[in-house]
């Protein structure tokens, strides 16, 4: 079998038909690829998926208790039979008649992974016409895709086809303990010693924005919904540091790449300390600052603020907070005062 498409599915009845229709209109025969829908404990039913399963022999439906998208993708990987694997989210869709061509490009160039372009839009986004798949760049070794302009430092799991053989060799699984950032960690782990990598410039994937997406949740709502969110930020930071050190040790890392990695490190450290300030006790804040110092990420530099799309006033405010944060006694004193406030006032922050 040429290709396995893995779809993590949770309460997606509104979008799954458009997703499946796009995957069925491909330049592959039904016996050449499979579509594995892994239901992560949906509560809105799965009648639409059942209808597709009855009508199409290459669609499989698997149910599991709610454990998150990472666990759903890992479940799909355990069931996959294709030479290549493609992760597709249930609320997104792909261009028609492209997957077979992408498979041929990956096979003819013997790539461990083949990347392609995407575009984002609202729920009314329409599929583009026939994308031109002829502009292909090969990187050998694949890490050069990150070390040469435009320095592709992050990726979503739906931006590539990847060899199942390479996944099994590297034991590449999504971190089920992380709520946010697990896709970027998967990408960095995947790229750490990958062989040949291809990149097709065409926009193949359509990333649909809608209000109920986890990736578009914000602030306290996200933290309240997912108990492991803050721990996941720390895990993400540790993985980022490990990858940064791996690159610097083994490759000639351009200044732009080093700066990007350092900016991500500082941004994650800043975010983690803000979350701890808001949600954890003074003792726990003190312990986290000690851990971050031992990692070498505290005190924080502030160059990353220039990269953020904020107004000058907001950047100045964040820089001032960061400067206070870097003076440990003052930050911990502010934390103590904050937690002396009535809970009703703290909840307003």
Mean pLDDT by 10 residues, the chain (349 residues): 97 93 97 97 89 97 93 96 97 95 98 94 70 92 94 92 97 84 88 95 90 48 56 87 92 92 91 91 95 94 72 86 94 94 81
pLDDT of res. 212: 54
pLDDT of res. 301: 84
pLDDT of res. 303: 73
Last residue of a domain, one of 215, 240, 272: 215
Q: Are residues 142 and 230 in the same domain?
A: no
Q: How far is CA 168 from CA 66, 194, 202, in A?
A: 25, 13, 28
Decide: 113 and 143 in contact? Cβ < 8 Å.
no
Last residue of a domain, one of 184, 199, 215: 215
SS3 content of the chain, % helix, strand, coil (to 5): 50, 15, 35
Q: Are residues 8 and 60 in the same domain?
A: yes
Q: What is the pTM of this model?
A: 0.86
Average of per-residue pLDDT values in the chain: 89
Q: Are residues 163 and 306 in the same domain?
A: no
pLDDT of res. 228: 65
Q: Are residues 206 and 325 in the same domain?
A: no
Condensed to tens digits (0 to 9), the pLDDT of residues 311-325 reads: 888 888 888 999 999
Domain that holds residue 11: 3-215
Q: How many domains does the chain have?
A: 2
Q: Are residues 111 and 193 in the same domain?
A: yes
For residues 74 and 91, what is the distance between their CA atoms, to the nearest angstrom? 19
pLDDT of res. 44: 85
pLDDT of res. 5: 98
Decide: 269 and 300 in contact? Cβ < 8 Å.
yes
């Amino acid at each position: 079998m040429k290709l396995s498409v893995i779809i993590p599915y949770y309460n997606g009845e509104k979008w799954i038909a458009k997703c499946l229709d796009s995957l069925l209109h491909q330049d592959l025969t039904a016996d050449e690829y499979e579509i594995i829908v892994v239901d992560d404990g949906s509560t809105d039913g799965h009648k639409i998926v059942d209808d597709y399963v009855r009508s199409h022999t290459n669609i499989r439906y698997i149910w599991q208790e709610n454990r998150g998208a990472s666990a759903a993708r890992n479940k799909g990987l355990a069931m996959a039979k294709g030479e290549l694997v493609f992760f597709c989210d249930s609320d997104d869709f792909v261009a028609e008649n492209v997957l077979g061509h992408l498979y041929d490009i990956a096979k003819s160039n013997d790539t461990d992974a083949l990347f392609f372009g995407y575009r984002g839009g609202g729920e009314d986004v329409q599929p583009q016409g026939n994308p031109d798949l002829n502009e292909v760049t090969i990187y050998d070794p694949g890490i050069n895709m990150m070390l040469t302009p435009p320095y592709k430092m992050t990726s979503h799991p739906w931006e590539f086809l990847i060899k199942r053989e390479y996944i099994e060799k590297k034991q590449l699984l999504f971190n089920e303990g992380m709520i946010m950032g697990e896709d970027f960690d998967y990408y960095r782990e995947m790229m750490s010693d990958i062989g040949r990598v291809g990149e097709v410039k065409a926009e193949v994937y359509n990333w649909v924005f809608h209000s109920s997406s986890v990736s578009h949740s914000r602030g306290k709502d996200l933290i309240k919904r997912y108990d492991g969110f803050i721990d996941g930020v720390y895990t993400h930071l540790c993985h980022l540091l490990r990858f940064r050190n791996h690159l610097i040790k083994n490759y000639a890392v351009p200044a732009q790449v080093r700066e990007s990695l350092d900016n991500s490190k500082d941004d994650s450290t800043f975010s983690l300390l803000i979350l701890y300030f808001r949600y954890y006790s003074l003792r726990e804040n003190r312990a986290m600052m000690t851990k971050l110092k031992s990692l070498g990420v505290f005190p924080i530099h502030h160059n990353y603020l220039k990269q953020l799309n904020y107004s000058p006033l907001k950047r100045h405010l964040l820089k001032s907070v960061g400067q206070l944060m870097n003076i440990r006694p003052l930050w911990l004193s502010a934390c103590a005062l904050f937690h002396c406030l009535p809970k009703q006032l703290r909840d307003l922050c």
